[in-house]
Chain A
Amino acid sequence: MSTLYDFALRMGDNTLILGHRVSEWCGHAPVLEEDIALANTALDLIGQTQLWLGLAAEEEGTGKTADDIAFLRDAWDFRNALLCELPNGDFGRTLMRQYLFDQWHLLMLQELQKSSEKRVSDIADKAIKEVSYHVERSRDTVVGLGDGTAESHKRMQDALDYLYPYVGELFTPDAVDDAATKEGIAPDLASLREAYDAAVAATMAEATLALPESRFGHKGGRNGKMHTEHLGHILTQMQWLQRAYPGATW
């Protein structure tokens, strides 16, 4: 399969799995306003998934659709970063995960706007407007809760400690990424790290949270070699309808 296919799959699986995770809050968020905001974010991510997986399907060229790719693959075929599939935990952890992802997502899309592949830069142009808002919102919430009450501060620090080891994977290129960089499709992932670190450090300082010192990074999601046990559970829920009633539409 082509480099573009692999690349689109990784982007689309990130937004699909994270979008599904965020949608789990629908009807459960602590206040109505946050509930709607989270649902909006989830819908934005699912919308971007349609574009990325649509591109992957087009590139695969066997007549599959974005829906086929989303609903008819098993866990080992998914190429999302592990960060996206981690459980929501409490509201604070969900927003911390969102911020850590959004900040990367924004930097990535900024670079993808310069992609040599027009279909990629088109998606980036569209998605970046949504993602600029996502990061603004998740950043504010991380700062508000981090620099909030003793209880919210503790929960946000716990969330950061738990999630930070999953950040490294976003910046660790493998052969697929190297090929995408060489073809001008995507930036060198490692080159995004400096700007990411600066932005995250500023946010955490404002949130009075301490960034973990260790740069250890779990990996295995983006190449599908070792997803966490949580992904399978997402899929049982997400794919249930298409598995039980193949081809069902409404």
Chain B
Amino acid sequence: MSKEWPLWEIFIRGQHGLSHRHVGSLHAPDAEMAIKNARDVYTRRNEGQSIWVVEAKHISASSPSDKGPLYEPSESKVYRHPTFFDIPEDVGAM
């Protein structure tokens, strides 16, 4: 068994209505302590309303080498962007 505490990824929601954002990672023996550590490490300056912690090993990530197949096909499909509509002026900024 490893003597190192597992790594946790920390997500913090800054305000009501916003989504949780990844702010960094830290080590902790369990989820409860990870939340406490996150409180101490990442919310010292009043940054947070809510904390999520996820053990890093439970996050599945896409591989950088798959960049081509994953993202390139959409590059040539400008029609997927809703930029071909005339927006009436009184709608304002969208």
Contact = CB atoms under 8 A, between A and B. Distances in A.
Interface of A: 31-33, 36-37, 40, 133, 136-137, 140, 144
B28 to A, nearest CB: 7
A101 to B, nearest CB: 18
Contacts of A136: 36
Interface of B: 5, 26-29, 32-33, 36-37, 39-41, 44
Contacts, number: 29
Contacts of A133: 39
Query: Which of B32, B37, B39 gathers the greatest number of chain A CB atoms within 10 Å?
Result: B37
Contact of B33 (A32, A40, A140): A140
Contacts of B39: 133
A136 B32 CA distance: 11
B23 to A, nearest CB: 14
A37 B36 contact: yes
Nearest to B33: A140
Contacts of A140: 32-33, 36
A33 B44 contact: no
Contacts of B29: 144
